[in-house]
Amino acid sequence: MVMLMRKVISIITAVVLCLMIHTKADAQINAGAGLAYGLDIEKIGIQVGGTYGISDEMRVGLDIIYWFGDNETNDLGMGLEERISTTFLEVNANFNYIFYSENDLKLYGIGTLGIHYFSFSDELWISGTSHAQDSFSDSDTEAAFGLGVGAEYSLGNLLIYAEPRVFLSGFDQFALSAGVRIPIR
């Protein structure tokens, strides 16, 4: 799976670099952050990312979403504890086609290719000890494909965005993200 992840990241990097070479010098670059909610995993996440304008109608972007996983301790009785931890992470390359742009509002379609990572660990502890007595862990990394739409509203030097997307692979979920972007150039 690591080889697949490396290949996907290499392809995404090559495409973005090729597109950057063939764009005009006054391309718009935006960077920002926001919150996300995944309906399937039922988690809130923090999103950071940016966009790079290729033309007036097209742009590419990258975003990373760290979903707040579970960290819980369960008292099993007889001096035993169970400690469970989960982690969810997405790295997504996005293509936006802007189909409406008037006044300060932009509406756009989103195509996403990404890498989605999940890890889980379950440890059995004897209360008061400094190491686990038994443990189980697993992780999974999958290529992801998503489609969505987005809306972006300009407040001058601040852009507010909302992007609902459905992922057909990876975490297989509907996710809604919203936040702010700042034009860099």
User: CATH no. for residue 173?
Assistant: 2.40.160.20
CB 12 within 8 A of CB 93: yes
Is 135 part of any domain?
no
Query: Quick check: is 79 in a domain?
Result: no
Q: 110-132: per-residue pLDDT in tens?
A: 999 999 998 988 887 777 776 66
For the chain, list residues with pLDDT below 50. 23, 25
Euclidean distance between CA atoms 179 and 35, whole angstroms: 6
Show the domain range for 109. Answer: 2-66+90-118+146-183
Flag whether 110 is in a domain.
yes
Domain count, the chain: 1
**Would you say residue 140 lies in a domain?**
no
pLDDT at 15: 59
Distance (Å, rounded) from C-alpha 144 to C-alpha 83? Answer: 29
Query: What confidence score (pLDDT) does residue 71 get?
Result: 82
- The answer to whether position 12 is within a domain reads yes
pLDDT at 125: 72
DSSP state letter for 47: E
**HSE (side-chain half, CA atoms, 13 Å) at 18:** 6
d(CA 43, CA 68): 6
Output the pLDDT for position 10.
66
DSSP letter, residue 133: S
Label residue 97 exposed, middle or buried (CB < 10 Å: 0-12, 13-18, 19+). exposed
Domain annotation covers residue 125 = no
Which residues make Cβ contacts (< 8 Å) with residue 55, sequence separation at least 6?
Answer: 23, 24
In a domain, 98, yes or no: yes
Q: What integer best gives the mean pLDDT of the chain?
A: 85
Q: Does residue 160 form part of some domain?
A: yes
Tens digit of pLDDT for each residue in 145-163?
999 999 999 998 999 999 9
- What is the pLDDT, as a whole number, of residue 123? 80
pLDDT of residue 48: 97
Rounded distance between C-alpha atoms, residue 49 and residue 110, angstroms: 14
